A and B are shown apart, each in its own frame.
Chain A
Amino acid sequence: MALLERNEWYDIARDTNWTPTYVSQENLFPPTMSDPYQIPIDEWETFDEPYKVSFREYVRTQREKDGSAYSVKAALSRSRFYDQACEGWASVLKLHYGTVALTEYQACQFQARMVRFGPSPSMRNMATFGMLDEMRHAQLQLFFPHELVHRDRQYDWAHEAAHTNNWAVIGGRHAMDDIMMCRDAVTGSLMVSFAFETGLTNLQMIGLSTDAANMGDFTFSNLITSIQSDEARHAQLGTPTIEIMVRNGYKEDAQKILDIAFWRVWRLFSVSVGIPMDYYIPLEQRHMSFKEFMHEWVNRQYVRQVEDLGLAKPWYWQHFLDDIENHHHCQQGGIWSWRPTVWWNPPGAVGPKERQWLEKKYPGWNDSYGTYWDVITENLLADREEKTHPECVPIICNMCQIPISNRPGKAWKARPYQFEHEGRRYNFCTEPCRWIFTTDPNRYKDHETIVDRMYSGEIQPPDLDGVLKYMGIGVVSEGGRDGYNYQWIEGFRSAAAE
């Protein structure tokens, strides 16, 4: 029997919907899990995802992709690449695997919620593929680093990070719990599929795959491309949902949902992508600065897409543009200084040539961030390594869970943005992080930052060793050290000698 063409049967198969008779519609799709706006079902039945795939096609394509990713890995496993790779690139890999691998499993659970509670049959159908995609991504990104564990125990964080209370993990967990794990299907599809995937990570994957190829890491480059190729399907869960919300009078809600999620993901994205692009990847292999990447890829595309949907760019756009100039430079300084608290070996890597590059890409860098590194460099040149480890405790943002900081030097823009609620004072890094808290204080008020936990007595003993152990350092693996063993200061020593 001849098979029908996909377009001859697709719509009717995909749109098949329940007509409940034994339970109410509300019991079958509780608003808190499904659609809190209670948009009529015939509106949801207009949901049409543009990129279509049948299950048969899905299985065939995914099988081919897996076959390709695993055979490239097998073919290159005898190459000496990972033995010879510099610690800067290793840091990119360790940071990526530790923050991403099990987050993919969370994304799988999130997709599963849309499979069950999505108000539109097409949405549930597409989310089924999304759920299988995310499972594949988690498994690939657990398997690939696994063979590296025997070379370097820090790769074990691919599997372990999500099970620890490392400060970087708490930040990721807070954001993912907020936008992905604890939202109804409709809100989640805007936050994850549109703001997170379409807005930021899809484009990041394109850049990361290019970086990997430039580094000669074709296993990782190919892995990232393979993962990225799945996104066309499930990232499109957001757009039709936004269109239906706007058409039914929920434009302002859609705007707020996107603005919350975009900022939440941005704060993490800047650390996990900005620092690697501008500091970890060796100068010779950098293909563009993080700022150029944001302006050339993310900003233009995101604004075009939200405007096409009848929405506006986020109200905090100016704050966001400012954050592109600052946030990841601050956190490179912070992460490097508190290097024993992370599971990779962050290279300082701000030698004379790197500083020239940073000044060119970020005019004014030397007069601001440079002053921070001047002190560190001076201490290292004078053999006072111990002075490069801070003894104070940072103030952590009660929203993004990242240390509060901003441009140093003459401008000195670091300050907390505060908010009092039910007798407790909350500190925030920026106006948008504070704004997100005020949109729903009950949702956020009970969470404690890693530093709150030191003061509240949860971390015992509340000293450096106690905190490190609490964060999994020395338990999963040793914490970080300078990735290049301070080699990057040698350029200054020879310059001084001349």
Chain B
Amino acid sequence: MAFERVCSLDDLWQGEMENFEVSGTEVLLIHLDDGSIHAIQSICPHQEVELVNGSLEGKVLTCSMHLWQFDVSSGEGINPTHAEVAKYPVRVDGEDIFVDTKGIEPKFTLA
């Protein structure tokens, strides 16, 4: 395991998402309203557009470009269902958020 400190809880409020570079990998860090924190690949598996420009409602992230939707808690596609975003393990230790990107590659999907 290679957890790396990314930021503190103060840097990412509930309902917010932001891109971070973790060990050379772009990661989208998302703090959901339910308090859980998720790290997923920063680009859409469709045409590699930055997901951070999309909109977040509950745990559903909608890409700004073609409205593809993902459940950020599981990484699974909602529409289309055959798509999927890579998830990176997250650990919260006190006020600090840690992410491990080792051995995980972004996913791409045909459409």
Which residues of chain A have a CB within 8 Å of any CB of chain B? Answer: 50-53, 61, 198, 202-203, 206, 225, 228-229, 231-232, 235-236, 239, 297, 301, 304-305, 308-309
Given contacts A51-B80, A202-B47, A206-B47, contact A228 B111 (CB under 8 A): no
Select which of A51, A297, A304 is within 8 A of B68 by beta carbon.
A51
Complex Cα gap A235–B47 (Å): 12
> Which residues of A have CB within 8 Å of B108?
304
The yes or no answer to B66 lying at the interface (CB within 8 A) is yes
Q: A51-B80, A61-B67, A232-B111 are in contact. List 16 more A-B contacts (CB 8 A).
A: A50-B82, A50-B83, A50-B111, A51-B68, A51-B111, A198-B111, A206-B49, A206-B65, A229-B65, A229-B66, A232-B65, A232-B67, A232-B68, A239-B110, A239-B111, A309-B110
Complex Cα gap A228–B64 (Å): 10
> Which residues of A have CB within 8 Å of B82?
50
Select which of A52, A232, A301, A304 is within 8 A of B66 by beta carbon.
A232
Q: Are A225 and B68 in contact (CB under 8 A)?
A: no
> Which residues of A have CB within 8 Å of B110?
50, 239, 305, 308-309
The yes or no answer to B48 lying at the interface (CB within 8 A) is yes
Least CB separation from A296: chain B residue: B48
**Which of B83, B109, B110 has the most chain A CB atoms closer than 10 A to its own CB?**
B110
Q: Are B47 and A52 in contact (CB under 8 A)?
A: no
The yes or no answer to B74 lying at the interface (CB within 8 A) is no
**Which of B49, B64, B65, B68 has the most chain A CB atoms closer than 10 A to its own CB?**
B65
The yes or no answer to B79 lying at the interface (CB within 8 A) is yes
The yes or no answer to B59 lying at the interface (CB within 8 A) is no
Given contacts A50-B80, A51-B68, A52-B79, contact A235 B111 (CB under 8 A): yes
Which residues of chain B have a CB within 8 Å of any CB of chain A? Answer: 46-49, 64-68, 79-83, 108-111
Is chain B's binding surface mostly helix, strand, loop or mixed? loop
Complex Cα gap A51–B66 (Å): 10
Least CB separation from B63: chain A residue: A232
> Which residues of B have CB within 8 Å of A309?
110
> Which residues of A have CB within 8 Å of B81?
50
Complex Cα gap A243–B104 (Å): 28
Q: Are B67 and A229 in contact (CB under 8 A)?
A: yes
> Which residues of A have CB within 8 Å of B109?
50
Complex Cα gap A228–B66 (Å): 7
Complex Cα gap A301–B108 (Å): 10
Complex Cα gap A370–B99 (Å): 50
> Which residues of A have CB within 8 Å of B68?
51, 232
> Which residues of B have CB within 8 Å of A228?
65-66
> Which residues of B have CB within 8 Å of A229?
64-67
> Which residues of A have CB within 8 Å of B48?
297, 301
Complex Cα gap A72–B83 (Å): 32
Complex Cα gap A308–B45 (Å): 14
> Which residues of B have CB within 8 Å of A239?
110-111
> Which residues of A have CB within 8 Å of B49?
206
Q: Are B47 and A203 in contact (CB under 8 A)?
A: yes
Complex Cα gap A325–B86 (Å): 35
Complex Cα gap A239–B83 (Å): 14
Given contacts A231-B66, A232-B111, A239-B110, contact A51 B47 (CB under 8 A): no
> Which residues of A have CB within 8 Å of B80?
50-52
Complex Cα gap A198–B108 (Å): 14
> Which residues of B have CB within 8 Å of A206?
47, 49, 65
Q: Are B64 and A232 in contact (CB under 8 A)?
A: no
Selected A-B contacts with CB under 8 Å, 8 pairs: A50-B80, A51-B68, A52-B79, A206-B47, A229-B66, A232-B68, A235-B111, A304-B108
Least CB separation from B111: chain A residue: A236
A239 to chain B, nearest CB (A): 5
> Sorted from nearest, which 9 A-B pairs have the closest CB atoms?
A232-B66, A50-B80, A51-B80, A236-B111, A50-B82, A239-B110, A308-B110, A50-B111, A229-B67
> Which residues of A have CB within 8 Å of B79?
51-53
> Which residues of A have CB within 8 Å of B66?
51, 228-229, 231-232
Complex Cα gap A177–B55 (Å): 39
Complex Cα gap A63–B111 (Å): 24
> Which residues of B have CB within 8 Å of A53?
79
A425 to chain B, nearest CB (A): 43
B111 to chain A, nearest CB (A): 5
Complex Cα gap A96–B68 (Å): 27
**Which of A50, A61, A203, A304 has the most chain B CB atoms closer than 10 A to its own CB?**
A50
B20 to chain A, nearest CB (A): 22
Q: Are B47 and A225 in contact (CB under 8 A)?
A: no
> Which residues of A have CB within 8 Å of B67?
61, 229, 232
